[in-house]
Amino acid sequence: MLRTRPIDWGWNSFPLGVGALPSDFEEPYVHYFRFNDDRLHADFVEGIQIPLKPSMGVFAVEPEGDEPVSAILAGPYGGNLDLWELTEGTSLFLPVFKPGARVWTGDANAIQADGVVDQTGIESAMEELRVQYLVRKGLSIEGPTIETATHWIVMAFADSLDTALPNCVRTAIGWLNQHAGLERRDAYALCSMAISFRVTQWADQTGSVYSAIPPKTHPCGYPKAGARGAPARAD
């Protein structure tokens, strides 16, 4: 993601019967926002200003098979990842299942939080979106893998968070074993000591948990140059 600049407005809303609290409110909700010219923040209610971090919620290649797949779902092919880190300066790695990959994207967000608990962040559209596509041959990954300036992130998906979380732990163990050379028991221990497991979305009723893997164990986070092992780059 080279450039993610939203238009100058967006909205947050929740209809009845959705999100983490589907029956707690008696009326639906919508709130419109106007962004400042540099797209750095949006004013919410008096005294609350929300910093913007534009991202694309949906990024995918065409999945295996010929059956249609809803864009609200996610899987090894990507899909509705709703990961706020998918913004400028971030790289997303996806396995390719069909010739040409057929990459697609959508669901522009000016900002969203982990969980997306009412079903939406600040939904918007991109005034400018620039993405560079590169083919990485000889790289083995099982599903979406994200590289930020400070972290590698892997993801897992399931129908419930109770299933998604252990799946994500197994994904993290496999990633550390393959790319960092850690013995699987050591990788499991590292997951408990130094890796944060977070919920990307509840609102779509599809449990999605991802883990942010620091390149080195330290509460402040060390530069990636100090990491032990990482997927080979072709830059």
The structural domains of the chain, with segments of one domain joined by +, span: 3-68+76-92+102-130, 145-226
Rounded to an integer, the average pLDDT of 168-192 is 90
pLDDT of residue 220: 18
As given in the structure block, the two tokens for residue 32 are: 């419109």
Give residue-wise pLDDT tens across range 12-34: 999 888 888 888 999 999 999 99
C-alpha 202/C-alpha 112 separation (Å) is 13
As given in the structure block, the two tokens for residue 185 are: 């028991």
CATH 3.20.20.140 correct for 145-226: no
Amino acid at 12: N
- Crossing angle of the two packed helices 161-179 and 184-194, in degrees rounded to 10: 120
C-alpha 141/C-alpha 95 separation (Å) is 6
Output the pTM of the full model: 0.83
Provide Rg for the chain, Cα atoms.
18
Is the model's pLDDT at 217 over the cut of 80?
no
Give residue-wise pLDDT tens across range 55-112: 999 999 999 999 888 877 888 999 888 889 999 999 999 999 999 999 999 999 999 9
Mean residue pLDDT of the chain comes to 84
pLDDT of residue 204: 54
Rounded to an integer, the average pLDDT of 210-219 is 40
pLDDT of residue 151: 87
Give the strand pairing for 208-213 and 74-75: unpaired
As given in the structure block, the two tokens for residue 216 are: 């080195």
Is the model's pLDDT at 35 over the cut of 70?
yes
Q: Between these two residues, 132 and 176, which has the higher pLDDT value?
A: 132
Phi-psi region of 138 (alpha: psi -120 to 50; beta: other; left: phi over 0): left
Vertex 67, ends 164 and 76: CA angle to 5°? 30
Give residue-wise pLDDT tens across range 121-136: 999 999 999 999 999 8
Specify the range with the lowest mean pLDDT, choosing from 4-13, 87-96, 143-152: 143-152
Amino acid at 153: I
